[in-house]
Amino acid sequence: MKKFLSNIIRKNSQEDKSLFKVVLTQNERNSKLPDTFFKKFISSISQKDIFFYPNTKKLINKIAKHHRIKPYNVLLTPGSDIGIKTIFETFDLKGKNIITTNYFFGMYEVYSKLYETKLKKAVYSKNKFNIRKILNKIDQDTQFIIIANPNSPVGDTYTAHELKTLLDTGIHLIIDEAYIELSSAKSFISKINEYKNLTILRTFSKGYGAAGCRVGFIVSSKENIDYFSKFRFMYEISGISMKYIEFILDNNLYFKRYFEKTLKNKNKFVNKLKSTKLHIIDSDSSWFFIKSSKLVKDMFSKNRIAIRETDHPYERGKWIKFNYDLKVEKTNILNDLLTI
């Protein structure tokens, strides 16, 4: 057994969701699909989706078409978590280093220890993250830079100029776009053939709310995908999961409208909250932060909304991450907060 594993604490965050009307402690979409929409998917499932080994070709082709790239630029993974692990497995990391920010997905640290590499963290400072802090940490042993766009939990996004600056260093840049649909950020998928040192991670778990399907994908140059694919098994994703993702892509207009409405309504609500006595930190994404207090927490509790307190790099104290979902509009929490 690797000794460092004894120091890793994995918390079970599976709350009893039946106690709440809305769960903001996890990042999945809360809003249910229309019944007619979901029934249409159920009726499309056949016994062969269960009996036979899954064929990934159809889904890969749909993803490639959706993003206007080639099928050989896409590698399916069982969630973007495994996509991240695949990248760590592919690079020669022992005794080298990788760079991220000090607000990052926890598995980066686990994998860096597992593959015996140093994780260098560029630290957030007040008001805005400066990519110069990443550039200053690059040395001859840096294997890749891995960042999230938008960042979670902060919600900040990187500009195209900032991303190109990182790519121009020649260091391989991994961009985790897990929350891209729920932000103002622009995907860099269209740049994968322009930059051979660019890899994008995507998932259907967040904006699309398909976390239970465990489907993600890696996008990169054909050469990189050929390398990454050597570390993946043949049948990792169930046929039914892939069938649902195909259904999502065939009906993407519905989800596109959902994303647009969520961001629009969230921005309207934040602007209203700024006229109250609440201390608000906005983001470029579908969530924002409210300074935690007993009064605020009691309001969420009264509305049966599960919340999570967190730190924030721009301000001290505890903050409530409000992951805006259209489902919250069916509670009284918005009106309650406006009374403060």
Of 84, 117, 318, 44, which is closest to residue 201 (Cα–Cα)? 84
Of 167, 278, 150, which is closest to residue 207 (Cα–Cα)? 150
Q: 89 with 115: CB under 8 angstroms?
A: yes
| Two structure tokens written together for 171 | 């260091």
* Residue in the block written with tokens 């489902």: 327
- Per-residue pLDDT, 86: 93
187 phi/psi in degrees, rounded to 5: -60, 150
The answer to whether residue 5 sits within a structural domain is no
> Do 263 and 320 reside in the same domain of the chain?
yes
> Do 110 and 244 reside in the same domain of the chain?
yes
- Per-residue pLDDT, 96: 95
> Do 246 and 164 reside in the same domain of the chain?
yes
The answer to whether residue 226 sits within a structural domain is yes
> Do 190 and 297 reside in the same domain of the chain?
no
> Do 93 and 227 reside in the same domain of the chain?
yes
Of 312, 278, 327, which is closest to residue 156 (Cα–Cα)? 312
Domain boundary among 196, 217, 250: 250
- Per-residue pLDDT, 263: 94
> Do 237 and 267 reside in the same domain of the chain?
no
**Cα(15)–Cα(252) distance, rounded to whole angstroms?**
30
CATH of the domain at 258: 3.90.1150.10
pLDDT along the chain (340 residues), means of 10: 58 59 70 85 88 91 97 95 92 93 87 93 79 95 96 90 97 96 94 96 93 94 94 84 95 93 94 93 93 94 89 88 88 90
* Residue in the block written with tokens 């890793």: 8
> Do 121 and 199 reside in the same domain of the chain?
yes
| Bridge partners of residue 219, in order along the sequence | 74, 200
Domain that holds residue 105: 51-250
The answer to whether residue 311 sits within a structural domain is yes
- C-alpha R_g of the chain: 21
If you ran DSSP here, which 8-state letter would residue 285 be given?
Answer: B
Domain boundary among 186, 215, 250: 250
The number of folded domains in the chain is: 2
> Do 146 and 177 reside in the same domain of the chain?
yes
The answer to whether residue 80 sits within a structural domain is yes
The answer to whether residue 41 sits within a structural domain is no
The answer to whether residue 55 sits within a structural domain is yes
> Do 106 and 223 reside in the same domain of the chain?
yes
> Do 25 and 111 reside in the same domain of the chain?
no
Cα angle: 306, vertex 309, 313; to 5 degrees: 145
Give every strand in the sheet of 118-122, ordered side by side.
Answer: 74-77, 216-219, 198-203, 172-176, 142-148, 97-101, 118-122
> Do 59 and 190 reside in the same domain of the chain?
yes
The answer to whether residue 30 sits within a structural domain is yes
Which residues neighbour 236 within 8 Å (Cβ) at sequence distance 6 or greater? 76, 77, 78, 82
> Do 58 and 161 reside in the same domain of the chain?
yes
Domain boundary among 209, 235, 250: 250
pTM: 0.91
The answer to whether residue 112 sits within a structural domain is yes
